[in-house]
Amino acid sequence: MFKQPLRFNPEENKWKRPYPYRPTQKTAQIAPVQQEQGGRYWSNQPKGKPTLLSGIIINLEGKQENMFKKLNQRSTAAIFLLLLLTAALILSSASLSLADAEPESVTAVSAVDTSADTSQLLNDTEPGIYLVRFAEAPLARYRGGEGNLAPTNPQARGTNRLDANDDASRAYRQFLANRRSEYVSNMGQRIGRSINPIYEYEAGNHGVALLLSPEEALEIASLPGVISVQRDVERVLMTDNGPGWINASEIWNGTATGGLPGNQGEGIIVGIIDTGINPLNPSFADIGGDGYNHTNPFGSGNYVGVCDPGNPGFDPSFACNDKLIGAWGFPTVNGGDPTDYDGHGSHTASTAAGNVVLGATVNAPTFSFSRDISGVAPHANIIAYSGCCTVSALTAAIDQAILDGVDVINYSIGSEAASSVWTDFDTVGFLNARAAGIFVATSAGNSGPGAETVGSPADAPWLTSVGATTHDRLLLNVLGSMSGGATTPPADIAGKSITSGYGPAPIVYAGDFGDPLCGLGAFSPGTFSGQIVVCDRGVHARVDKGQSVLDGGAGGFILANDAPNGNSLNADAHVLPAVHITYADGVALKAWLDSGAGHTGTIAGTVMNINNSNADIMAGFSSRGANRAIDILSPNVTAPGVDIIAAYGSGGVVEWNSISGTSMSSPHVAGAGALVMALHPDWTPAEIQSALMTTAFTSVLKEDGVTPADPFDMGSGRIDLSVAGLAGLVLDETEANYLSANPLLGGDPKELNLASMADSDCANSCSWTRTVRSTLGSSVTWNASVESPAGVLLNVTPSSFVLAPGASQTITVDAIVTSDSNDEWVFGAITLTPSGAEAPAARMPVGVITSVEVPTFNPVADASVFSNRPNGNLGGSGQLRLDASPTVNSYLRFDVQGLVGPVSSATLRLYVQSTSAAGFTAHEVADNSWTEGGITFNNAPAIGAAINSSGATTAGSYVEVDVTSAITGNGLVSLALTTTDTGLIIAQSREGFNPPELVVETAVGPTPTPTNTPVPPTPTNTPVPPTPTATGPTPTATNTPVPPTPTNTAVPPTPTATATSSPTPTATATSGPGGSTFTFTTSDDAIVLSNRPTSNYGMATILVTDNAPDILSYLKFNVAGLDGSVASATLRVFVTTAVAPFDVAEVADNGWSQGSITYNTAPATGAVINGSGAISSGWVEIDVTSYINGDGTFSLALLADGTGRNLIDSAETSNGPELVVETGP
């Protein structure tokens, strides 16, 4: 794995590399072909057909229900008509000339974006919906600065919650409305037609959603005040025993509230952004099954959305009440009707805040059962937002939820791709929801158990991302009473399903009938005659397999797992008696079936098994870390998400369903957030999140039921409401700090005050600071303890502290690396425990990738002094000289910082240019007050004791001297070099390309002694793991990215420090007997488009070559500091989309700049230097030696040499173009 060079950061007193931020370009998330999701398989859909993905659905109606459900006809028709209208408008205005005005500079109010990134728009070919963000801060984030308009941001006003309807907010909202009107007018003028926004955003984002052609989107992106234009994409949709297992009842009844009254969410408004809601389901009735009569916080009879007579979308047929106090539809979703069109939204709403319902009946095709169910916060109010699943509609839903003043949002929606955290419209909207005081829970995703599968927006630090675990109830089925065959039949096999029993009956393997995977239509009627048919898992949806064998005449069905799914079982409601068994059990069963004849058995039928041993096991589908977007631990927590029973039904049908997915675990956390918020209304959303994290139950197991889960599986653990509301320490973070953590603006997410710590590049040591606030009513002593990761020593400073009520304490967590983790994450934790029983312990997980590297220092000052010029100063000459006649000595001063542990060795390395002397000696110098610009032979400090001698010196190479005895640790150290030989030694000084180096190795110090042993919260339910039958294979990486070549930079006047993993140094310019190698990055690069001849795209993150339209890319390099003639010059570019070869041409005119170049103003291209030849994605190298003749400025152009569009990373990415120049000896 490529690692950028270590640099010492004196402000942080640590070694670190530049932050490895990898911005992700988002596309619509459609699963790979034959990717299984839930009860069915789904595949890539044709472009332009929007689709939805539910959680892992159990099909209780026996329908052939593809999990990629098409939007209903009204929604599809509405979008189609809008697109037709757009196409007509484009055609009608084709003869109009586009405006040629140059884009003006924009001063962005927002720190989220600073310019419109248009790179993603260049691949668009069809009209569509585009989201446009404007520069003004949205309502939730406005802190003042627009004339005399008062701030509306809650923190700027000293409050916890946004009031969208107070005087300041109304005034600023009017200001934003006026600005949007101006922008829309300007955009219409630019593209030559009128524009009617589909959505307008004001609270979470400030912008609009528009129907545009790709060309129009590019034009609009160049307008003043437009800071982002993104094409709309689809997101996907990611309880009886659940609330009990997370101990919600202990807040309900007041036993875990610290003396405060118990609550069930009274007065809290939970917003559900999903597929709508079924208002007729008893889960959302005014009076719950426990007799609770809800109170409307808006006042009796006052509702929002379609239930508000003052709303243009008022629908008197939609039944709001004092529980369900509002519902919003959006025009591009279900025709604007908020009635649940899928069932998913009702399920998540019911899980988070649904009423107590006595005897909710689940009707499967062959089996029915009833359960008493309840949401986690059953007395909370609900507002539903039917926004799933285009980003434009979801952004509108987030915006409306902020304006409605909800307290909590559940968002069981996301993307399999990583976020562009600070630019995606939904993640930015949720940042501003947090600024408005709203707690947001979101699903981690259903792409597990592979690593790095947590998707968007679950990877953003201002949302609480949730993985899925089991709870204590299982819906079990058993294949038993087996007999026959030539070998001993297997013992009874326990599996899962929701079906009736069947048998005894013959058992056969579908592979013996032509299709072991049992695809629909594989078996003609009469193929079977009542047998129990065994099918292998894979390719086709699980419930389709049962339908397939039923169509062929089977009486029962056994689904045998494949190896990747191992022990992961699903309680599906099949259309015939069935049981789902593990991979190992399936192997044993099929081996038995392969012997002899007369195999029979019985499917027992579903039974409900409630046992602690069933619980707190990670679901195989739950997405895992590491976070692909930024350096934080994800997910944050886990909650029950397997076989969750809650409200269901679409189109007003009242029913209940059992569903699995992180869509089901997220509303458990949303409901938990509602309970904690009702208990502690003064806590911020970040503090609520930290309380859930630091008190979580950590004895969670991986999906195999045996291996302890790690933070990439479970986050901080499974939430536990028996202790979360009692948290004595909480961590807060501000919206301003979230914004400043943006790596593209120089920030570092590791510095956020989160209840976890991560560092993917912990070289030698790393550290974090966290600030905790006491929630307790008396002074308490807190003691720190550590669980150190493998190869790491953790230490907390201070290790003990006293906090008064409401007081805060900042702690520093240091990680001292003792061994390299070989690019693997290792995990530990710190725990803060009160000295008494005042509160539960607060545990924070730590995850690091470690490396052991040797710090290397360059001098901060060096100079030679001459006896024959006793008052002359030769500092800054580029050379250090040594001679005995006349006496010439050299002085060097190093500033050694960032060392951890005692010095074990120190080596001075000097690059010798020429020599006629045998060697030299290094001496101690006690006085560090000399300066490079002032030292002379007469005023030079006294030379002390000899340290060591160099031995023989060789020209053109480094010579090393052991100076360990003079280096005692961090601080300034001066050395003097002398020789007794009358020959002359000339070495390079710090101004040269090979400056002197001091390489210091340290020994790891003693293990810090913790002040106490961590005491985790005592669980109320201790899981007893079942014995596994098999585990799935560990996924392996299939490709490794090609690292960019390190960049050649000028030697700064202040000290530099690099790191080496061996005695050979890593230098920005490499020299040797054969010459030197220099690597330069562009000073300017840009693309120019023939169809946009007056537009500038200098800040685009890509370079492009194409011939239809003509698109060229210009690059400029400033070559300086070469130490000889050019032997070779190679242009290196990183191709992300490779279609056709391209040429590199000379450009004689260097007067262009990336901030102003357009197609019309671009300099002429000259002769072609060389072509790329056939290309593929990755680094491509082109020989340009004939053009690079020495120091100077050189411009190049990349030209299309074939039909097709190549996309190449620009300098605005981490893989920008490079010019590698080798010089001769």
Query: Max Cα separation, the chain?
Result: 111
Q: Is residue 32 scored above 80 in pLDDT? A: no
* ω into 1163 cis (within 30 of 0): no
Q: Is the pLDDT of residue 1091 over 60?
A: yes
Inform me whether the pLDDT recorded for 1004 exceeds 70: no
828 and 918 together in one domain = no
Mean pLDDT, residues 54-75: 33
* Token output for 117: 């990134």
User: What torsion do the CA atoms of 761, 767, 773, 775 make, to the nearest 10 degrees?
Assistant: 70
> Quick one: tokens of 723?
């202790």
Locate 519 and state its tokens: 């695809």
Domain annotation covers residue 1095: yes
Identity at 465, one-letter amino acid code: S
Q: What are phi and psi of 394, to 5 degrees?
A: -65, -40
One domain, residues 443 and 341: yes
List the 199-201 sheet strands across, edge first.
199-201, 207-212, 128-134, 226-231
Residues 392 and 408 in one domain: yes
Q: Mark which of 830, 851, 872 sits at the end of a domain.
A: 851
What pLDDT shows up at residue 92? 34
Residue-wise pLDDT for 435-483, tens only, equals 999 999 999 999 888 899 998 999 999 999 999 999 988 889 999 999 9
Q: Which residues contact residue 742 at a Cβ distance below 8 angstroms, ignoring those fewer than 6 apart?
A: 111, 112, 421, 422
Ranges of beta strands (E only) in 622-764 are 637-640, 644-648, 655-660, 729-730, 757-763
Cis peptide before 564 (omega within 30 of 0): no
Is 68 a residue whose pLDDT tops 60?
no
Q: What CATH code is carried by the domain that includes residue 271?
A: 3.40.50.200
Task: Give the pLDDT confidence of 893-927 residue by residue, as tens digits.
Answer: 999 988 877 899 999 999 999 999 889 999 999 99
Q: What is the mean pLDDT of residues 648-665?
A: 88
At residue 91, the pLDDT reads 32
Please tell me the predicted confidence (pLDDT) of residue 69: 32
Least confident of 74-78, 204-208, 782-786, 936-940: 74-78
Whether the per-residue pLDDT at 1024 is higher than 80: the answer is no
d(CA 275, CA 349) in angstroms, rounded, equals: 10
Any idea how long the chain is? 1225
Q: What is the pLDDT of residue 876?
A: 86
207 occurs within a structural domain: yes
In whole angstroms, what is the distance from residue 394 CA to residue 339 CA? Answer: 16
Over residues 107-126, the pLDDT tens digits come to 222 333 334 556 667 777 88
Q: Has residue 693 been placed in a domain?
A: yes
Measured N-to-C along each axis, helices 391-404 and 425-435 cross at an angle, to the nearest 10 degrees, of: 10
User: At 903, which CATH number?
Assistant: 2.60.120
Mean pLDDT of 90-119: 33
- What is the Cα–Cα distance from 438 to 33, expressed in whole angstroms? 38
Rounded Cα–Cα distance for residues 210 and 196 (Å): 7
* pLDDT value at 323 more than 70: yes
> Do the Cβ atoms of 495 and 691 come closer than 8 Å?
no
Query: What pLDDT, on the 0 to 100 scale, is given for residue 1074?
Result: 56
pLDDT at residue 319, rounded to an integer:
92
- 397-413, pLDDT tens digit by residue? 999 999 999 999 999 99
Which run of H or E residues covers position 372?
Answer: strand 368-373
At residue 191, does pLDDT exceed 90?
yes
- Residue where a domain stops, chosen among 826, 851, 876: 851
pTM over cut 0.85: no
Which carries the bigger pLDDT value, residue 13 or residue 1055?
A: 13
Backbone angles phi, psi at 435, to 5 degrees: -60, -30
Least confident of 207-221, 699-713, 732-746, 1021-1035: 1021-1035
Split at pLDDT 50, 70, 90, the class of 1214 is: confident
Place of tokens 């069963």: 589
**3-state secondary structure labels for all residues of 850-896:** EECCEEEECCCEEEEEECCECCCCCCCCCEEEEEECCEEEEEEEEEE
pLDDT by residue (tens digit) across 971-990? 999 999 999 988 899 999 99
Q: Does residue 14 lie in a domain region?
A: no
Average pLDDT over residues 258-275: 95
Q: How many CB atoms lie within 10 A of CB 159?
A: 11
1075 and 1143 in a single domain? The answer is: yes
Phi and psi at 1105, nearest 5°, equal -125, 135
Give the model's pLDDT for residue 1069: 55
737 located within any domain: no
One-letter identity of residue 423:
T
Three-state DSSP at 155 gives helix
- CA dist., res. 960 & res. 1000, Å (int): 13
Compute the mean pLDDT over every residue in the chain, rounded to the nearest whole number: 84
Query: Could you tell me if residue 839 is inside a domain?
Result: yes
The percent of residues in the chain predicted with pLDDT above 70, rounded, is: 84
Q: Are residues 218 and 139 in the same domain?
A: yes
Element (H, E) at 542: helix 542-551
Q: Which residues are part of the catalytic machinery?
A: 274, 344, 663
The mean-pLDDT minimum among 1-15, 133-147, 789-803, 1029-1043 falls in 1029-1043
Distance CA 529, CA 648 (A): 35
Residues 691 and 801 grouped into a single domain: no
pLDDT at 119: 61
**In degrees rounded to 5, what are phi and psi of residue 408?**
-135, 145
Residue 7 has pLDDT above 80, yes or no: no
Helix (H) or strand (E) holding 381: strand 381-386
Amino acid in position 1109: P
Residue 509 has pLDDT above 90, yes or no: yes
What integer is the mean pLDDT of 270-288? 96
CATH number at residue 805: 2.60.40.2310
Residues 281, 312 within the same domain = yes
Residue 1030 confidence (pLDDT): 31
Give residue 86's pLDDT band: very low, low, confident or very high (50, 70, 90): very low
For residue 158, the domain's CATH number is 3.30.70
The reported pLDDT for the residue numbered 1070 is: 54
The better pLDDT of the pair 1175, 63 is held by: 1175
> Which pLDDT score is estimated for 929?
95
Q: Is residue 1037 part of a domain?
A: no
Beta bridge partners of 1218: 1081, 1132
Q: What confidence score (pLDDT) does residue 616 get?
A: 93
Beta strand 1110-1119 pairing with 1192-1200:
antiparallel
**Residues ≥6 apart with Cβ < 8 Å to 755:** 689, 690, 693, 694, 716, 731, 770, 842, 844
- Mean pLDDT to the nearest integer, 1144-1171: 94
Same domain, yes or no: 642 and 523: no
Average pLDDT over residues 408-423: 91
In a domain, 554, yes or no: yes
Q: Residue 363: is its pLDDT beyond 90? A: no
Q: Which of 836, 851, 866 is the last residue of a domain?
A: 851
The average pLDDT across 303-329 equals: 96
pLDDT at 3: 36
Compute CA 543 distance to the chain's CA centroid, rounded to the nearest angstrom: 33
pLDDT attached to residue 589: 97
What pLDDT is recorded for position 285?
Answer: 96
Between CA 912 and CA 881 the distance in angstroms is 10
Describe the crossing of helices 344-353 and 662-679 by its angle, rounded to 10 degrees. 30
Cα separation, 588 vs 584, in Å, equals: 6
CA 470/CA 496 separation, integer angstroms: 13
Please tell me whether residues 768 and 836 are part of one structural domain: yes
CA distance 1199 to 1185: 18
Is the pLDDT at 695 greater than 70, yes or no? yes
Better-scored residue on pLDDT, 271 or 1027: 271
Q: What is the pLDDT of residue 1029?
A: 33
**pLDDT confidence of residue 696:** 98
User: Does one domain contain both 227 and 275?
Assistant: no
Phi then psi for residue 439, to 5 deg, are -85, 130
Q: What percent of the chain has pLDDT over 90?
A: 65
What is the pLDDT, as a whole number, of residue 160? Answer: 87
Structurally, the chain folds into a number of domains equal to: 6
Q: Where are the alpha helices (DSSP H) in 50-103?
A: 73-92
Structure confidence at residue 506 as a pLDDT band (50, 70, 90): very high
Range of the domain at 1121: 1068-1223
Q: Are residues 301 and 431 in the same domain?
A: yes
Asked whether the bond before 18 is cis by omega within 30 degrees of 0, the reply is no
| Least confident stretch, 210-219, 506-515, 608-617 | 608-617
Q: Which of 132, 69, 38, 51 is nearest to 389 (CA)?
A: 51
Residues 459 and 556 both lie in one domain: no
Specify the pLDDT at position 1049: 32
Q: Distance between CA atoms of 1096 and 218, rounded to whole angstroms?
A: 11
